[in-house]
Amino acid sequence: MLLGFSLTPFGHHLSAWRDGADVKGLSFEALLSQLVKVENAGFDFALIADLHGARPLDALSSIATPFEPTTLVAAFATKLERLGLLAAAATFQHEPYNLARRFASLDQISQGRSGWFNIPSAGEPARDSEYIDLVRALWDSFEDDAFVYDKQNARFFDPTKMHVLNHQGERFSVRGPLNVNRSPQGRPVIAHLLTTEDYALAAEFGEVVLLQETSGEGTVEAVQLFEAALEAAGRSRGDVRLLSNVVPFAAATREMAQEQYDSLQSIDSGGPAGLVPIGSFTEIADALQTWQTVAKVDGFTILPPTLSAADAFTADVVPELRRRGLIEAKTGKTLRSQLGLPRPPHPATEESAS
């Protein structure tokens, strides 16, 4: 079972900031302390979402992290040793070259533990397909062994292993190459939040795909529809890791967990999209185990409603999952190895092999 963690200053419930929070929760140190716990608990990655860079008009969001995601990931990468880090970035806000360079840099800083949480344009699938394909091609500007550092012959890199893109597409024109050498994990991982509008895009490019259905039945249906989209895209189920969003209310007893849920809902009934299990620590573990088996998902992205809920999940639910053999210790050093995804070979290597 794979586990992701969606980071917020106070929790994902709209009323979470009232749960003993103060302004210190917005600091880098407070956010880092959450991820230290998550890493120690054995999670595979953390997701740093974004409000797409939108400027606040009337009010600030208590859920959004106050820092730009890729900047935050660069800082986290120097403090965390194993945890994968997905940073959100929208295709409609960044030039392809600059986005490709930013994430290639993050993957060098994190030693292969980063990923791009893609926020696509609304209603422009053809544009996004060209955009993502272009970014991936820029990540392959250099072959893995292009930088030879041959002092004796004064060769910094092998020019035959540099690939100038010269992309002339319908919407973008980019010469390349990227001025960053190839990622330790081949390419940064590409993640998508699955919506009804972008099944085809996620099936074409997604490597980590997050489901946000609110029922077990809806999750089963979403998995089946996505598998059909994968087949249409010429990809297999093993190419992708599917994780359901989960908003857990866990406590020592079901009654205590229900009380936590009712208290938050009485203030504001809004909340993130995902499965919402309410129960004791063992009951939450039961629910996750059942959903994984029935829906055939690879794991779950935890969206804790409050910080205390996050602590309860990491301290009490995760050990129960581990006791059941659902979470295993991993020794991989890159995000791809953590997720069991293969390292993509450079296209030139594939061509020479064929």
Q: Encoding tokens for residue 57? A: 């008009």
pLDDT at 225 (0 to 100): 96
Secondary structure of residue 314 in the 3-state scheme: helix
53 or 308, higher pLDDT: 308
Q: Tell me if 3 sits within 8 A of 42, measured CB to CB.
A: yes
pLDDT per residue over 214-263, tens digit each? 999 999 999 999 999 999 999 999 999 999 999 999 999 999 999 999 99
pLDDT at 321 (0 to 100): 98
Instruction: Report domain 2-122+185-341's class.
Output: alpha beta
Angle at 273 (CA atoms; ends 302, 295), nearest 5 degrees: 70
Q: Which residue has the tokens 């053999």?
A: 325
pLDDT at 25 (0 to 100): 80
Q: Tell me if 174 sits within 8 A of 165, measured CB to CB.
A: yes
pLDDT at 196 (0 to 100): 85
Stretch 177-190: mean pLDDT: 94
CA dihedral 188, 194, 197, 202 (to 10 degrees): 30
Q: Nearest-CA neighbor of 318 among 7, 44, 101?
A: 44
Please give the span between the terminal C-alpha atoms of the chain, in angstroms, as a whole number: 35
Q: What per-residue string of b and e applies to 70-98 under the rule 16 or more CB within 10 Å gives b?
A: bebbbebbeebebbbbbbbbbbeebebbe
Report whether pLDDT(134) > 80: yes
pLDDT at 52 (0 to 100): 58
pLDDT at 60 (0 to 100): 63
pLDDT per residue over 92-112, tens digit each? 999 999 999 999 999 999 999
pLDDT-derived band at 324 (thresholds 50, 70, 90) equals: very high
Q: What residues contact residue 244 under an 8 Å CB cut-off, 6+ apart?
A: 210, 211, 212, 213, 219, 274, 275, 291, 295, 297, 299, 300, 301
Phi then psi dihedrals of residue 136, to 5 deg: -60, -40
Phi then psi dihedrals of residue 247, to 5 deg: -115, 90
Q: Encoding tokens for residue 187? A: 């390419």
Q: What residues contact residue 6 under an 8 Å CB cut-off, 6+ apart?
A: 12, 46, 47, 49, 245, 301, 302, 303, 304
Q: Encoding tokens for residue 324? A: 């059941």
* Bridge pairing between strands 278-280 and 45-48: unpaired
Among the ranges 15-29, 190-204, 243-257, which has the highest mean pLDDT value? 243-257
Q: Encoding tokens for residue 129? A: 């397909």
Mean pLDDT of the chain: 92
